[in-house]
């Protein structure tokens, strides 16, 4: 399926994660004498970066939820089109079978039966997919614990 120009995708940047890892490594590798002010500055910076990461993940999660919500109507449309096509093929087969012997169209009838079975399976898969979308949406929206206030460094 070719991508349209109006489709949007969002990537979560890895640089905040990398900066957080470097700062944690730096904190772990410092000697026993710890400057308390510097420690709290680093802690506040880490908390801010963590909040940025959470915000980015929330945005990405919402974008993903929106894109996933677009799928069921498209699957409905495909199913309707398949049913319409099958009805045309059946009508044509009935019309042709009156003019030609029934044995001529037996392979076509078998193929139509296979298409009907495939369509039924697609409908079952669609129902399963809808259930999965609902469970994903429930998992994407867990109750969030209250946020602690952001610590700010003392102004000099």
Question: Which tens digit of pLDDT belongs to each residue from 112-138?
Answer: 899 999 989 998 988 888 888 888 877
Give the domain ranges of the chain.
13-69, 70-141
C-beta separation of 45 from 20 below 8 A: no
* pLDDT tens by residue, 28-71: 777 556 677 888 888 999 999 999 999 999 999 898 899 888 88
pTM above 0.75, yes or no: no
- Considering the chain, what is the average pLDDT of its residues? 81
C-alpha to C-alpha distance for 60 and 147, rounded to whole angstroms: 20
Tell me the C-alpha distance between 156 and 119, whole Å: 71
């Amino acid at each position: 399926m070719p991508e349209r120009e109006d489709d949007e995708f969002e990537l979560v940047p890895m640089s905040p994660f990398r900066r957080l890892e470097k700062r944690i490594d730096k904190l772990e590798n410092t000697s026993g004498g710890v400057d308390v002010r510097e420690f709290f500055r680093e802690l506040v910076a880490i908390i801010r970066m963590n909040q940025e990461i959470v915000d980015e993940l929330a945005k990405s999660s919402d974008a993903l939820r929106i894109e996933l919500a677009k799928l069921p109507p498209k699957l409905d449309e495909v199913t309707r089109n398949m049913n319409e096509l099958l009805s045309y093929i059946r009508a044509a087969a009935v019309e042709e079978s009156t003019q030609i012997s029934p044995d001529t169209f037996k392979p076509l009838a078998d193929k139509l039966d296979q298409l009907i079975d495939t369509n039924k399976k697609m409908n079952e898969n669609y129902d399963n997919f809808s259930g999965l979308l609902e469970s994903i949406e429930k998992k994407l929206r867990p109750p969030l614990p209250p946020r602690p206030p952001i610590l700010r460094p003392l102004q000099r």
